[in-house]
Amino acid sequence: MTVVINMRDGMDGRKIKIAAKFILEGKLVAFPTETVYGLGADALNEEAARRIFEAKGRPADNPLIVHIADFDDLKKLAREIPDEARLLAEKFWPGPLTVVLPKKEEVPTVTTGGLDTVAVRMPAHPIALALIRASTPIAAPSANISGKPSPTLAEHVIDDFYGKIECIIDGGETKIGVESTVVDLSGEKPTLLRPGGLPLEEIEKVIGEVEIHPAVRGKLVDVARSPGMKYKHYSPNAQVIVVEGPRENVRKKIEELVKEYRKKGLRVGVMATEQYDADEFFHLGTSEEEVARNLFKALRELDKRRVDIIIAEGIEERGLGFAVMNRLRKAAGYRIVWA
């Protein structure tokens, strides 16, 4: 049975207690963060962490992010806390930034996918923070079935997990819409493992240049540092195609593709920042922030409208656009059309 707790109208200490009890009993609770919904369990309870992998159908070597509510919690999880981690935490926590550090023995290797590092973040969401404070550090990947678009609404979590987990907290739509930025601080040089809700430019202002792991750009070389990068991601049932290039060309190219696929008898969906004629259309908004917020919802929504193919307009890769394009290209399995 799944208990759905409605907290769309704000925090409620009594309801938090119910959810925290589930966590402390080793059960699974989906909860909102400022990025996407997380599928949470006690990070220090091996059996509980194992259940997350089972419920998601997630490969055992793809590590989880541990969510904390106070900086002191980090000291319980990480063996070393380098200056960069302190600086970034001071500036950006709570917020959409995850840091990877050498782990303490107390963190089960189930949680870290067998690695001797642990990924940690402090989410900027009152419900998430209250839940952690009322229980324990919580391991939580995005609350979607492995390979599907991440959830930005409780309905998405209900679609994927109703009947399969103990509790879902409905806190309304998530604000940022793409997952946290992941920076590895366990090696020689700070390395970006996943662009996300905190723009890389902001991080570099604080700690200087950050290397970009080649897998971020889709090059499947050394994936040992973040095994998550090698798996299929964000894919709706429909085939996604991303159109990239100068704006004027992109419009023409999308219109051409819509015609071409419709001629083949396919139902075509378009998701873009401008209006298009197609069988189905999803307006992503115009700013980077809006596009990030609407991205996963658009993929899930166009699937529900049963299109065969989704043509997505590419946006510029700066700011949140870096995270958006990373997710879109993955959702498309790197089927990119250059206009």
Which residues make up each annotated binding site for L-threonine?
35, 67, 121, 140, 142, 180
State which of residues 180, 191, 273, 326 lies at the interface with ligand TXA (CB under 6 A).
Answer: 180
- Secondary structure (DSSP) of 296-329: HHHHHHHHHTT-SEEEEE---SSTTHHHHHHHHH
Q: Do residues 86 and 207 touch, judged by C-beta distance below 8 A? A: no
What residue type is assigned to position 250 of the chain? V
Task: State how far the Cα of 175 lies from the Cα of 192, in Å rounded to an integer.
Answer: 22
* Secondary structure (3-state) at 158: helix
For residue 94, say if its preceding peptide bond is cis, omega within 30 degrees of 0: yes
Does the footprint of ligand TXA cover residue 228 (CB under 6 A)?
yes
C-alpha to C-alpha distance for 293 and 300, rounded to whole angstroms: 13
CB 262 to ligand TXA: min, Å: 35
Smallest gap from residue 309 Cβ to ligand TXA (A): 26
Binding mask 311-330 toward Mg ion (x if CB under 5 A, else -) reads: --------------------
CA diameter of the chain:
60
For residue 130, the partner it binds in ligand TXA, Mg ion, none, with Cβ less than 5 to 8 A by kind, is none
The entry of ligand TXA, Mg ion, none that residue 244 binds, CB within 5 to 8 Å by partner kind: none
On the 0-12 / 13-18 / 19+ scale of CB atoms within 10 A, 231 is: middle
Q: Which of 20, 22, 33, 99 binds ligand TXA (CB under 6 A)?
A: 33
Least distance in Å: CB of 36 to ligand TXA? 5
> CA 55, CA 167: separation in Å to the nearest integer?
13
User: Does the protein bind Mg ion through residue 294 (CB under 5 A)?
Assistant: no
Asked whether position 226 contacts ligand TXA by CB under 6 A, the answer is: yes
In this chain, which of 112, 152, 191, 326 binds ligand TXA, going by CB under 6 A? 112
Quick one: tokens of 338? Answer: 């250059």
Residue 174 near residue 154 (C-beta atoms within 8 A): no
Which of the residues 236 through 275 are near ligand TXA (CB under 6 A)? none
Closest CB to ligand TXA among residues 141, 190: 141
Q: Which residues bind Mg ion (CB under 5 A)?
A: 142
Q: Which residues bind ligand TXA (CB under 6 A)?
A: 33, 35-36, 38, 62-65, 96, 98, 100, 112, 115, 117-119, 123, 140-142, 179-180, 182, 184, 193-194, 225-228
